[in-house]
Amino acid sequence: MPGPSTAILWFRRDLRVHDHPALAYALANFDQVVPLFVVDNRLVHGRWRSPNRLWFLAGALRSLQHELRERDSALTVVRGDPTALVPRLARETGATAVIMTRDLTPYGRWRDVSVSLSLSASGIRHVAGRGLLVHEPEEVPRPAGGPFTVFSPFHRRWLAAPMRAIEPAPSTIATPPEVTAAPDVGPGELLGDPVPTADRALLPDPSEAAARRRLDRWAGSEALLDYAAGRDRLDLEGTSRLSQDLRFGLLSPVDVLVRTGGDGSGHRRFHSELAWRDFYAHLLWHLPRVARESFRAELDGVAWSTDAGAIESWRTGRTGYPVVDAAMRQLLATGWMHNRARMIVASFLTKHLGVDWRVGEAHFMAHLLDGDPASNNGGWQWAASTGTDPQPWFRIFNPTLQGRRHDPDGAYVRRWVPELAGVPGLDGADVHEPPPGVYLDRIVPHADGRSRALAEYARATGMPDSRDSRRRC
């Protein structure tokens, strides 16, 4: 009589036990499950390394260890090369399959192919399934093939695609006793004891339980009802703040969608933001080249500025534009930035300062708790007008007007630029336009930044006539 069948469940950015399709699959098809996380050296040393995200990851792994212990199981955490370590653990535990949530980034795909090749050499199966997104790329196909390059037709198909059922958290996970007998390894140690660069007191609790509480609160909030308008207010808590939980998979996007169910304008708008997340993930899957290159190749002919002083002023929040500086300081202090603010600062860097979007992309990846290769790249290429369905390049934000409109009382600026709080005579939205001498000099006057951007983009695109420009609106 054969022994119990065993599968490895390889966790990556799906660090939860609720609504976990790969976990449900493993439990339904195998007698025993061995949960595993591999600290890939790339996490600690790679291009997108971030102390803030490593700190969050360490906490999320401790949370997962706890959730698994509660269910009579345990998380094995090892550090090194997954291509070697995953097959080794499979052989040691007698596993005949490795189950995981499919990852769609260029590196994730390369890694998974290389692990699956080395597994099949040992006769071990490799099963990668859904769980990262609401819908997989194959579930929202473009009739003509390839990726959707415009959001609205994608969104129509996305809304029409059938939704999978929620998988409840299991009450117990059968795991080999030699695995549960081993004490939990402190993930912080394997991650190099990460110290966040953001202010610890302003960081969210990185546990699944806390993420579920955040979701509960958001699902029952007034802000969700008012999200269609409130999402653009820099000075209010008008958005869900669930991005880091979706990034690390403490929450599944399907769970978020179902729990925020409703047909009001706020609900529908919120769901469409989850569709944007899928849109950019699918795009990167179809066209991995956009990770490095502009989607609109002709715009890689823009002569980007490399002015190190200007870039440093932008990074540290010292451009002289109050709303830009508030946003950049919010990022450094909290590892998060409001979506409207991301658009404003990305537009400012790429248009007013004429700096390559990849410089901004890298800075965001170094600090954002929700830093995600697909959404971040999509957001930057949108703002730089190099992407799919981008901001047309001639629509350039005026940071002062954006601040007045979306921070109408100036509270956002006063929160993050304290030297502008309590300046006599600088009341309400006027904080967005401090008179000369009151605040830092603007590193470039708006009119100059705007006209140099218009000239450079016109040159790079071969100065299309106005009919072409209008068609892209």
Ligand X SMILES: Cc1cc2nc3c(=O)[nH]c(=O)nc-3n(C[C@H](O)[C@H](O)[C@H](O)COP(=O)(O)OP(=O)(O)OC[C@H]3O[C@@H](n4cnc5c(N)ncnc54)[C@H](O)[C@@H]3O)c2cc1C
Partner DNA sequence: AGCTAGTTCTG
Partner DNA sequence: AGAACTAGC
Residue with structure tokens 């500086």? 325
In the complex with DNA, the residue whose CB is nearer, 53 or 406, is 406
**Stretch of 14-22, 42-50, 294-302, 391-399 lying at the interface with DNA (CB under 7 A):** 391-399
The DSSP line for 346-366 is: HHIIIIIS-B-HHHHHHHHHH
Residue 134, classed as helix, strand or coil, is coil
Q: Which of 65, 116, 375, 386 binds ligand X (CB under 6 A)?
A: 375
Q: What are the phi and psi torsion angles at 294 (to 5°)?
A: -65, 135
CB of 440 to ligand X, least distance (A): 23
Distance, CA of 198 to CA of 179 (rounded, Å) = 36
Q: Which of 11, 148, 336, 394 binds DNA (CB under 7 A)?
A: 394
The item of ligand X, DNA, none sharing an interface with residue 447, based on CB under 5 to 8 Å by kind, is DNA
Residues 258-297 as x/- pattern, contact with ligand X by CB under 6 A: ---------------xx-xx--x-----------------
Q: Left, alpha or beta for 398 (phi > 0: left; psi -120 to 50: alpha)?
A: beta
**Stretch of 73-81, 211-219, 322-330, 463-471 lying at the interface with DNA (CB under 7 A):** 463-471
Strand partners, 37: 11, 77
Residue 285 is a catalytic residue: no
- Spatial strand order of the sheet with 32-39 comes to 76-79, 32-39, 6-11, 97-101, 125-129
User: Of 293, 339, 398, 433, which is the active-site residue?
Assistant: 339
Q: Which of 402, 414, 420, 443 binds DNA (CB under 7 A)?
A: 402
In the complex with ligand X, the residue whose CB is nearer, 91 or 268, is 268
Residue 382 is a catalytic residue: no
**Stretch of 43-51, 180-188, 194-202, 465-473 lying at the interface with DNA (CB under 7 A):** 465-473
Residue 179 to residues 72, 89, 97, 269, Cα–Cα distance (Å): 11, 11, 17, 45
Q: Which of 142, 398, 409, 433 binds DNA (CB under 7 A)?
A: 398
User: Of 357, 382, 393, 416, which is the active-site residue?
Assistant: 357
CB of 173 to DNA, least distance (A): 39
Distance, CA of 422 to CA of 439 (rounded, Å) = 13
Angle ∠(382,386,390) on CA atoms, nearest 5: 40
The item of ligand X, DNA, none sharing an interface with residue 401, based on CB under 5 to 8 Å by kind, is DNA
Distance, CA of 439 to CA of 197 (rounded, Å) = 26
Q: Which of 66, 272, 305, 409 binds DNA (CB under 7 A)?
A: 272
Q: Which of 241, 318, 415, 472 binds ligand X (CB under 6 A)?
A: 241
- Using CA atoms in the order 411, 417, 418, 422, what is the torsion angle rounded to 10 degrees? -50
Asked if 385 interacts with ligand X (CB under 6 A), we say no
Asked if 429 interacts with DNA (CB under 7 A), we say no
- Side chain identity at residue 174, one-letter code: A
For residues 149-188, which are near DNA according to CB under 7 A? 151
CB-based contacts of 353, cutoff 8 Å, min separation 6: 305, 307, 310, 311, 314, 443, 444, 449
* Contact between residue 125 and residue 97 where contact means Cβ atoms under 8 Å apart: yes
Other beta carbons within 10 angstroms of residue 1's beta carbon come to 2
User: Of 10, 380, 382, 393, which is the active-site residue?
Assistant: 380
Residue 276 is a catalytic residue: yes
Residue 339 is a catalytic residue: yes
In the complex with DNA, the residue whose CB is nearer, 69 or 395, is 395
- Distance from the Cα of residue 119 to its chain's centroid: 30
Residues 320-359 as x/- pattern, contact with DNA by CB under 7 A: -------------------x---x----------------
Q: Which of 299, 368, 396, 413 binds ligand X (CB under 6 A)?
A: 368
* Contact between residue 327 and residue 338 where contact means Cβ atoms under 8 Å apart: yes
**Stretch of 38-46, 74-82, 176-184, 377-385 lying at the interface with ligand X (CB under 6 A):** 377-385
Strand partners, 39: 79
**Stretch of 68-76, 164-172, 367-375, 447-455 lying at the interface with ligand X (CB under 6 A):** 367-375
Distance, CA of 48 to CA of 190 (rounded, Å) = 18
CB-based contacts of 367, cutoff 8 Å, min separation 6: 50, 52, 197, 198, 331, 332, 335
**Stretch of 29-37, 57-65, 105-113, 370-378 lying at the interface with ligand X (CB under 6 A):** 370-378
Which residues contact ligand X (rule: CB under 6 A)? 231, 239-243, 246-247, 273-274, 276-277, 280, 339, 342-343, 346, 364, 368, 370-372, 375-376, 378-380, 383
User: Mind telling me the catalytic residues?
Assistant: 273, 276, 304, 339, 357, 380
